[in-house]
């Protein structure tokens, strides 16, 4: 408890009401106490994920979910704990830090361990967080805390798409839509260096070089070329951002090919594809097991987070605004020093 012995208050970003990024406020609150089954972590990093934006807005942004937005708003508010204002006042799910206190029932973790993870109850835009040890994994030794905080929430949808759903074989052709974003940059590296696929990344002009540098064999500039019309077929199309649709892409899938998206049904016509065996939705896996596997891949040099910008905790609103543009180049991270 080195740092907490003399400190009772910590910095935290809170979301007192639903609304635009400016509702986020930096404040001071009491440092939480772990119970006997929990650990207290001095948190050095978090990241921005779509779910943070949804919980802050209390409704779905226009670019997501489209016709289903009116139905999704109440579901988001229910999940954020309040219809009028969020009950879970501190946003953020990813974290990376050092254990500073361990509940007496906790086995296997000690003060001083460097850890990272995804805290399902949220609340990681703070200097200290209490978490369940079941969510913890050792931080990759070759990443800073801020780099490690970029992994949960970003790598996990791609992991689910490749490991749990598609399992592409060596040499198979994989198309990744949104290859330059927070999820897509992990997907490109996994497809290339873990599954040894032939990778084509779809991204904008300014990101073509970066996407090739991280492993894409081919790149397609979505501003200039329609990837559904180049006569090439793919064994797997991973839509990291929900920009493509199965109906548009089915012509460029091989007979056994899969279209896997991060975005569940967002257009009425997609409803007809839900039962199609070539259409699948991935669900992020941020379990400790998943993060341990990701650590192995990171430490062996096969994958690494691509960081767009690191903001300080006091700049969290700006970080949200930046992520909301939909033009991130890799992950948007919060450094908590
Ligand atoms: N299923 C799950 O468990 C799960 C979990 C987390 C998130 N998600 C979903 O994942 C999505 C967010 O992904 P993300 O965080 O990776 O996004 P992001 O970091 O905001 O990245 C978006 C990237 O896509 C590029 N892009 C935009 N339009 C494009 C297009 N038409 N074709 C190709 N590239 C395009 C942008 O580049 P430019 O600047 O060049 O436009 C940007 O680099 C959301 O839809 C969210 O709902 C799903």
Domains and CATH numbers, the chain: 2-153+305-335 (3.90.180.10), 155-281 (3.40.50.720)
Q: What separation in angstroms does the CA of 107 have from each of 77, 241, 289?
A: 36, 39, 17
Handedness of CA 19, 22, 27, 33 (dihedral sign): positive
- Regarding the beta carbon of 63 and ligand 1, being less than 6 Å apart is answered no
Q: Is a pLDDT exceeding 80 seen at residue 64?
A: no
Which residue minimizes the CA distance to atom 26 of ligand 1? 178
Q: Is a pLDDT exceeding 60 seen at residue 3?
A: no
pTM over 0.75: yes
Q: Is a pLDDT exceeding 90 seen at residue 69?
A: no
The whole-number pLDDT of residue 92 equals: 97
Q: Is a pLDDT exceeding 60 seen at residue 106?
A: yes
CA distance 289 to 300: 17
Q: CB neighbours of 32 closer than 8 A, spacing ≥ 6?
A: 40, 128, 129, 130
Q: Is a pLDDT exceeding 80 seen at residue 79?
A: no
Sheet of strand 173-177, all strands in order from the earlier edge strand to the far edge: 218-221, 198-203, 173-177, 234-239, 253-261, 279-281
- Regarding the beta carbon of 188 and ligand 1, being less than 6 Å apart is answered no
Q: Is a pLDDT exceeding 70 seen at residue 17?
A: yes
The whole-number pLDDT of residue 178 equals: 98
- Regarding the beta carbon of 283 and ligand 1, being less than 6 Å apart is answered yes
DSSP 281: E
- Span 110-124, mean pLDDT? 97
Residue 49 has a CB neighbour count (10 Å cut-off) of: 25
- Span 99-114, mean pLDDT? 97
CA distance 63 to 81: 24
- Regarding the beta carbon of 78 and ligand 1, being less than 6 Å apart is answered no
Q: Which atom of ligand 1 is nearest to the CA of 282?
A: 1
What's the 182 CA to ligand 1 centre distance in angstroms?
7
Q: Is a pLDDT exceeding 60 seen at residue 62?
A: yes
Length of the chain: 337
Which residue minimizes the CA distance to atom 38 of ligand 1? 327
- Span 13-33, mean pLDDT? 96
- In the beta sheet, which residues pair with residue 234? 253
- In the beta sheet, which residues pair with residue 114? 98
The residue with greater pLDDT, 223 or 59, is 223
What's the 281 CA to ligand 1 centre distance in angstroms?
15
Pocket mutation for ligand 1, best pick of 205, 326, 329 (most atoms within 8 Å of C-beta) = 326
- In the beta sheet, which residues pair with residue 259? 237, 279
The whole-number pLDDT of residue 294 equals: 98
Q: Which of 5-19, 28-42, 180-194 has the lowest mean pLDDT?
A: 5-19
The whole-number pLDDT of residue 78 equals: 73
What's the 99 CA to ligand 1 centre distance in angstroms?
32
Counting Cα atoms < 13 Å in the Cβ hemisphere of 321 gives 10
Pocket mutation for ligand 1, best pick of 183, 219, 244 (most atoms within 8 Å of C-beta) = 183
Question: Beta-strand (E) ranges in 110-197?
Answer: 114-118, 128-131, 136-138, 173-177
Residue pair 93/124 in contact by the 8 Å Cβ criterion: yes
Q: Is a pLDDT exceeding 70 seen at residue 253?
A: yes
The whole-number pLDDT of residue 272 equals: 62
CA distance 215 to 229: 23
CA distance 284 to 50: 12
Residue pair 282/260 in contact by the 8 Å Cβ criterion: yes
CA distance 2 to 74: 43
Q: Which of 18-27, 55-64, 198-207, 216-225 has the lowest mean pLDDT?
A: 55-64
- Tell me the average pLDDT of the chain: 92
Confidence of residue 2 (pLDDT cuts 50, 70, 90): low
CA distance 192 to 269: 32
Q: Is a pLDDT exceeding 80 seen at residue 335?
A: yes
Q: Is a pLDDT exceeding 90 seen at residue 140?
A: yes
Which residue minimizes the CA distance to atom 45 of ligand 1? 241
What's the 241 CA to ligand 1 centre distance in angstroms?
3
- Span 182-205, mean pLDDT? 98
The whole-number pLDDT of residue 303 equals: 98
The whole-number pLDDT of residue 160 equals: 97
Q: Is a pLDDT exceeding 60 seen at residue 265?
A: no
Pocket mutation for ligand 1, best pick of 152, 179, 201, 204 (most atoms within 8 Å of C-beta) = 204
Which residue minimizes the CA distance to atom 22 of ligand 1? 181
The residue with greater pLDDT, 64 or 185, is 185
Give the closest residue to 216 by CA, choosing from 258, 247, 179, 257: 179
The whole-number pLDDT of residue 196 equals: 98
The CA-to-CA distance between both ends of the chain, in Å, stands at 17
Percent of the chain with pLDDT over 70: 91
């Amino acid at each position: 408890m080195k740092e907490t012995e003399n400190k009772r208050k910590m910095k935290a970003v809170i979301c007192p009401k639903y609304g635009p990024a400016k509702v986020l406020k930096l404040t001071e609150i009491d440092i939480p106490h772990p119970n006997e089954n929990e650990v207290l972590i001095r948190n050095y990093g978090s990241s921005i994920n779509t779910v943070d934006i949804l919980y802050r807005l209390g409704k779905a942004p226009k670019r997501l979910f489209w016709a289903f937005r009116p139905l999704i708003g109440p579901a988001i508010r229910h999940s954020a704990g309040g219809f009028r204002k969020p009950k879970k006042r501190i946003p953020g799910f990813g974290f990376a830090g050092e254990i500073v206190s361990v509940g007496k029932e906790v086995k296997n973790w000690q003060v001083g361990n460097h850890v990272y993870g995804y805290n399902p109850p949220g609340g990681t835009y703070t200097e200290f967080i209490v978490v369940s040890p079941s969510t913890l994994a050792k931080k990759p030794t070759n990443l800073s805390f801020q780099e490690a905080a970029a992994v949960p929430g970003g790598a996990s949808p791609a992991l689910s798409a490749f490991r749990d759903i598609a399992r592409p074989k060596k040499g198979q052709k994989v198309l990744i839509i949104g290859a330059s974003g927070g999820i897509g940059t992990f997907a490109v590296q996994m497809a290339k260096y873990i599954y040894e696929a032939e990778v084509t990344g779809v991204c904008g002009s300014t990101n073509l070089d970066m996407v090739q540098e991280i492993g894409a064999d081919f790149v397609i500039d979505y501003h200039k070329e329609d990837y559904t019309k180049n006569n090439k077929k793919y064994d797997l199309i991973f839509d990291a951002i929900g920009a493509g649709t199965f109906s548009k892409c089915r012509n460029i899938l091989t007979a056994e090919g899969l279209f896997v998206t991060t975005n569940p049904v967002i257009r009425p016509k997609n409803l007809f594809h839900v039962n199609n065996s070539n259409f699948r939705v991935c669900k992020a896996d941020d379990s400790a097991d998943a993060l341990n596997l990701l650590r192995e891949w990171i430490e062996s040099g096969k994958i690494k987070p691509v960081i767009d910008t690191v903001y300080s905790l006091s700049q969290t609103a700006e970080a949200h605004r930046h992520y909301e543009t939909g033009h991130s180049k890799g992950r948007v991270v919060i450094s908590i020093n």
